Amino acid sequence: MDLTRASACEWLTQLNSGKVTSEELVGGYLKRAEALQRLNTFVHLDHDAVLAQARSIDAKRKVGEPVGPLAGLPVAVKDVLCVEGVPTTCGSRMLKNFRPPYDATVIARLKAAGAVLFGMTNMDEFAMGSSTENSSYGPTRNPWDETRIPGGSSGGAAVAIAADLAPLSLGSDTGGSIRQPASLCGVVGLKPTYGRVSRYGLIAYASSLDQVGPFAHSLADAALVLQHIAGRDPRDATSVDRPVPDYAATLDTPPESLRIGLVREHRGEGLDPEVASALDEAVRVYEKAGATIKEVSLPHSKYGVPAYYVVASAECSSNLARYDGTIYGHRAEDFSAKYPIEEDLPPLIRMMMASRAEGFGAEVKRRIMLGTFALSAGYADQYYNHALKVRRLIRNDFDTAFKEVDVLLGPTSPTPAFKLGERTADPLAMYLSDIYTITANLAGIPGLSIPGGLTRGGLPIGLQFLAPAFAEETLLRTARVFERATDWHTRRPTLAG
Amino acid sequence: MGLSHDEVAKVALLARLRLDPAELEMFTGQLNSIVEFVTQLQELDTKDVEPLAHGVEVRNVFRDDVRGPALSNEAALSNAPKRNAESFLVPAVLE
């Protein structure tokens, strides 16, 4: 069984025809995960639980009982999605012992479809970061070069695919946390439109920006997952009641209209020359396919990162207020007054302060404080409310661009994967890794990253496609034109193990 | 504008975070760089711009007020850092 060759769609065919059992399939992946533990991809992988799910599907298939559309396929899950009874820890010491009493809606849907939940993957703590270095479990390594970061915050979910430790995985994207690691690991990563997929049970970072989406090797595999996780959920009032198209069925039909926009501001300073030439090459592929290529402008692009850090931090300071050591999560043993400022505080407040100080890492503290500041009396208008207005300007830029083109094409990340430790001392340098992805979250539109090349040094380069809200079908079909014409998505890292 | 140590200490208290002196020093420097960075947003004239709170604007969503399944007490208490048979235990709030 060659796990580095087959796709999820092919595995499904083989499972349905009885050529392979789910137990054999997950057994192969478990063995591989064992051999490649040094990548630090999984934070929790219970072999017995995985095998039990697979055997139960196999037993149903054997007697001809109806099984779901993903029956027997392993799916790795970012440690941010609640799975009932399974440690779901958000890469944080704060939630080290947390076992959710319920399933996230996307997890319930995967279970109903017969998928085998294949472990929880490493991530930046509470999804805050671009390198998976902000994890209390230590960083995940990029399989293409183990001295480099895999991107983040869904680094483990991206590596699970890149290193063939699972054929499918789920991540979450608040400012690029699916697309940027997909790009840096050479896999497909899709952030759906805000509201396309339920956020119920997705541990909240910034609620107006967070969205769940799939990682896979191919667009067909990503479309398969999206199909089964998308749609209205009465438990998430922001999930939108619109029909879910059959993404897989239309994938191979090239779009009737192929007007592609190149964003002037995404070719600026800081763009690695090898990434720029991969983009030029992609443009040639589209020209050959008969596309109309047009330069467009998103004039407020440069305000994306600062607007994001105000909005996301403000939302996180509110969302993470729940981790106070009372109902669940870490509680400090010793919360006696330690510094003069604490002496007059009631014990309950000291307990909260000490628990949060011990439970959260530096990046989470930084964002909570930035958000608390941006929302505090006297500053809210200047920072938070102003950033929301800039957010409108950013959305208007996209609305204008999409009057002229169907899809925007550009680089996902300005550079290939950087070295472990390279940007940890400078939060601002880290924030700028998301410069091309972040505005899609502010505008609510879908974004997709697909493998678009390799550097001379053998590091993956990702291409990003952006489309109007709910145009996932256009996004996938347009990207498919490139995927069909190239073989970048079939490349694999050389992994000793 | 710059944030002083005292202001950062006040923000930390509002955010219920205990900072040790070294953290206070580090975060003061870093928060100042970040605040300075986000200050570029002030260049934009947003006088007639409506704030945008969600990318995809949704109106209030209503549902019938019917009781659905709820967590059992035991499930709700199962992750408590400190508890007895029926309650979460916290340090005394009233003297």
pLDDT of residue A268: 81
Bridge-partner residues for A74, per DSSP?
A116
Crossing angle of the two packed helices A472-485 and A219-229, in degrees rounded to 10: 160
pLDDT (mean) for A114-128: 98
pLDDT digit string, tens, across residues A96-110: 999 999 999 999 999
Q: Is residue A400 part of a domain?
A: no
CATH number assigned to the domain comprising residue A30: 3.90.1300.10
Q: In sequence order, what DSSP letters do the residues of A432-474 get, joined into one string? A: GGGTTTHHHHHHT--EEEEEEEE-TTS-EEEEEEE-STT-HHH
Q: Is residue A23 part of a domain?
A: yes
Q: Which has the closest alpha carbon to A365: B45, B72, B18, B93?
A: B18
In terms of domains, do A51 and A175 share one? Answer: yes
- Cβ–Cβ of B46/A368 closer than 8 Å? no
Q: Is residue A177 part of a domain?
A: yes
Confidence of residue A496 (pLDDT cuts 50, 70, 90): confident
- Cβ–Cβ of B54/A238 closer than 8 Å? yes
pLDDT digit string, tens, across residues B22-70: 999 999 999 999 999 999 999 999 999 999 998 887 778 888 999 988 9
Most B CBs within 10 Å, among A194, A240, A317, A370, to test the B interface:
A370
Mean per-residue pLDDT of chain A: 97
In terms of domains, do A200 and A341 share one? Answer: no
Q: Quote the CA–CA distance of A451 and A187 in Å, as a whole number.
A: 6
Q: Quote the CA–CA distance of A447 and A464 in Å, as a whole number.
A: 7
The domain total for chain B is 1
pLDDT digit string, tens, across residues A39-94: 999 999 999 999 999 999 999 999 999 999 999 999 999 999 999 999 999 999 99
Q: If you count residue pairs, one on A and one on B, with CB atoms under 8 Å apart, how many are there?
A: 179
- Cβ–Cβ of A390/B76 closer than 8 Å? no
Domain that residue A365 falls in: 324-382
B4 with B28: CB under 8 angstroms? yes
- DSSP character at residue A421: T
Cis peptide before A297 (omega within 30 of 0): no
The number of angstroms, rounded, from the C-alpha of A184 to the middle of its chain's C-alpha atoms is: 12
Question: Which residues of A fall within a CB distance of 8 Å from B15?
Answer: 317, 356, 368-369, 372
pLDDT of residue A497: 64
Q: Is residue B17 part of a domain?
A: yes
Confidence of residue B1 (pLDDT cuts 50, 70, 90): low
Q: Is residue A314 part of a domain?
A: no
The domain total for chain A is 2
Q: Is residue A296 part of a domain?
A: no
Domain that residue B32 falls in: 5-38
What is the identity of the amino acid at B40?
Q
In terms of domains, do A121 and A251 share one? Answer: yes
What ipTM score was computed for the predicted complex, to two decimals?
0.96
Question: Which residues of A fall within a CB distance of 8 Å from B52?
Answer: 388-389, 391-392, 395, 442
Question: In the predicted model, is pLDDT for residue A318 greater than 90?
Answer: yes
In terms of domains, do A176 and A68 share one? Answer: yes
> Which of A342, A358, A382 delimits the end of a domain?
A382
pLDDT digit string, tens, across residues A369-400: 999 999 998 999 999 999 999 999 999 999 99
Q: Is residue A187 part of a domain?
A: yes
pLDDT of residue A429: 87
